[in-house]
Structure 1
Amino acid sequence: MLYKGLKNKLMCAIGACLLSTSVIAADFPSRDIRLIVPWAAGGGADGISRKISNIAEKELPKSIYVENINGAVTATGLMQMSRSRPDGHTIGVLTYDSLITLPRGKMVPGYSLDKMSMIARITKEADAVVVSKQSGFNSFEELIEAAKAKPNTIRIGVAPKGSGPYLAVHRLEKLTGVDFNIITYPGSSSAETEALLSGELDAAISSLGDFSGIIESGDAKGVVELSSEQNPSYLNVPPIKTFGYELETGSFILLAAPKGTPKEAITTLENAFKTAYDSKEFKEWIVKVGVTPSWLGSAEVQTWIDELQSSTFKEMDALGL
């Protein structure tokens, strides 16, 4: 009788929990939604997150507000998100470091993508190869031909060892069969910009947005984006797929919720952000900031993450990183 009584209580507890979850999902959202951006206010990820959430909230009965919680290469904010109640009222923004740098380095105890449910990918900001005016190169083909003719002489600048651009240049060498003279620069791309202007570099790798000033002035030229999609902001810069190569590198913005968030809440959020993504307002705005809109929904984004990690970690292993 005691066992039967405990069993009945357990079944009632489980039933109540399931009922509570279904009620929460049915009423979602019942309060304003907190969007954690794990970078300081004012950056690119922050600006894009604020813009699309401002449009997305028009599809919901409640507002979406952004909270910037930076630190530990995005881990601080995302761990707060993943530890929040899994009801869809707290979500977070993930970038390259969230998917690659942190999982690879295992640098923050407790951080894990397994504690998150992916909602969607919104944008990609591909790395690009930019050449200086002084180099004399006018196209990607000219750059590669020169690198093949004179190995280790074409000077190309990238961020430090282990960064996305650092991996990109080595992957580019492997794909095209060339050897560049690779020079690393700490900090932001401003050092590479100065090196391109001074003639210290022939080329550099970062996003086109990072070099927009010297591209607009004519002191540098984007010759290829390391992407399969055309950047609508730079229609004169072809994606590398145009030349028959498969190489996707750069940053991106993803949205995620705590693991265990009801499917109904995930779907509601995904639909709201997809409507915002498809809006004329967002499409026109995103082109102005030089970022490529690139949507993947909840059914597709996890597969993309798995493939990205697999290929990137394989390259890191080959480079001993």
Structure 2
Amino acid sequence: MFSKGLKNTLKLALGACIVGTSVAAADFPTRDIRLIVPWPAGGGADAISRKISNIAEQDLPKSIYVENIAGAVTATGLVQMTSARPDGHTLGVLTYDSVITLPRGQMVPGYGLENMKLIARITSEADAIVVSKHSGINTFEELVEKAKANPGKVRVGVAPKGSGPYLSAYQLESLLDVDFNVITYAGSSSAEAEALLSGELDAAISSLGDFSGIIESGDAKGVIELTSVQNMTYTDVPTISSKGYDLQTGSFIVLAAPKGTPDEAVEVIESAFKTAYDSEEFQSWLAQVGVTPDWLGSDEVNGWVDALQEKTFSLMDDLNL
């Protein structure tokens, strides 16, 4: 049995711990928050991350600064994120490759979702086929017709092997009974945009938001979106389901922190980003660039990732990838 004096001492110590935790949570963040974007500046993930963090920091006592650390299909930046002190002051952005390509390939030692604490999904974007103005293609039907007439000749740019757009290209070949010349590009979609501009590519697969700049300039045109839901920003781009095909592929933005980050810090971060997500400024901006707002909080995002991996890995098994 504990003595009365020892009991009182334990109560005081426990009370001090509770007060200390509350104070720590109330004080977070104590310095600027580093948000690692594992892609080069200028791509869609970078733009979305910068926009929402600029708004989110208005709800915090400290700033959020974005750092682009590209390489190893997002692993270079995200390994740095998971190696940081788990105190909420370092965050990272996950995309399709972070959730699917890297775990599937197990190619980067030290990388794994088990080393992360997922906070929220912010956006989702359907893949789309965008054609260069140099290609002479103006519609989805013309793309299919040209590919059938010229097997292996229509040049379609995608992200590296195993990526979402890469899988989309091969699913499209099977669905449409065509044979593309599929060309992979490392890095963000900006490399494919440059290839479309120069005429190096006839078409590319990524989100319409990723190619918004060259679409607006008239240098490229979206001819189909791989979804069943009409994009309300690009209303002139039909869905593939409207053409009688069933195919839905795309990417997303997920916010994460290192494993072990305190729940109190995660709550503060999630709250600030949800407020930014709900803001008229962010929603209007997403509509302008053609990206779909698609929030899932910390209570739901892990289950969604698990289901996505199960479905996608099964497809990759079928394609021997």
Q: TM-score range by the shorter chain?
A: 0.7 to 0.9
Matched, 1:58 2:61: no
Q: Provide structure 2 residue ranges, at least 5 long, that are not aligned to the other structure.
A: 2-6
What is the letter of the counterpart of residue 254 of structure 1? V
- Preserved contact between residue 148 and residue 177 of structure 1 (Cα < 8 Å): no
Among candidates 193, 197, 204, match of residue 196 of structure 2? 193
1:178 to 2:177 alignment: yes
TM-score, scaled to structure 2: 0.77
Structure 1 residues 52 and 209: CA distance shift in structure 2, 3 A: closer
Q: Match for 1:130: what amino acid?
A: V
- Counterpart of 2:121 in structure 1: which amino acid? R
Q: Is the 8 A contact 1:148 1:178 kept in 2?
A: no
Structure 1, residues 250-288: CA drift from partner, whole Å, max 9, x if none? x32211112233333322221211110111111222333
**Deviations, residues 237-259 of structure 1 (Å, cap 9, x unaligned):** 2344555624122x322111122
Letter aligned with residue 193 of structure 1 = L
Amino acid at match of 2:83: R
In 2, are the aligned partners of 1:94 and 1:253 still within 8 Å (CA)? yes
Q: Measure how far apart 1:73 and its partner are.
A: 2.9
> Which amino acid in 2 is paired with 1:99?
V
Deviates further, 64-73 or 276-285: 64-73
Deviations 1:196-242 (A, max 9, x none): x58x74x4423334544654465643122224544443222234455
What SS does structure 2 have at the residue aligned with 1:298? Answer: coil
Instruction: Give runs of aligned pairs for residues 30-179 of structure 1, distance below 5 A.
Output: 30-39=29-38, 42-44=41-43, 45-131=45-131, 139-140=139-140, 143=143, 146=145, 152=151, 155-159=154-158, 160-174=160-174, 176-179=175-178
Instruction: After superposing the two structures, state which structure 1 stretch, 42-51 or 19-28, moved more.
Output: 19-28
Gaps of 5+ in 1: 2-7
**Structure 1 residues 191 and 30, CA, compared in 2 at 3 Å: closer, same or farther?**
closer
- The match for 1:298 is 298
Verify: 1:248 aligned to 2:249, yes or no.
yes
Cα contact 1:123–1:252 (8 A) shared by 2: yes
Distance 1:21 1:67 in 2: 31
Tell me the distance in 1 between the aligned counterparts of 2:318 and 2:96: 20
Number of aligned residue pairs: give it: 306
Change (3 A) 1:150 1:209: same
Report 1:255-294 matches (<5 A).
255-294=255-294
- The DSSP-based 3-state class of the residue aligned with 2:172 is helix
- Look up the equivalent residue of 1:294 and give its one-letter code: D
TM-score calculated relative to the size of structure 1: 0.77
Give the drift of 1:168. 0.5
CA change 1:218–1:62 in 2 (3 A) is: closer
> Corresponding residue for 2:4?
none
Q: Give 2:264's aligned amino acid.
A: E
Cα distance in 2, alignment partners of residues 47 and 132 from structure 1: 23
Give the deviation of 1:178 after TM superposition.
2.1
Kindly provide the amino acid, as one letter, of the partner of residue 39 in structure 1. Answer: P
Distance 1:177 1:269, change over 3 A: same
Task: From the superposition, tell whether residues 116 and 282 of structure 1 become closer, same or farther in structure 2 (CA, over 3 Å).
Answer: same
* Cα distance, 1:165 vs structure 2: 1.9
Partner of 1:273, secondary structure, is helix
What's the RMSD between the two structures over aligned residues? 3.6
Paired residue for 2:318? 318
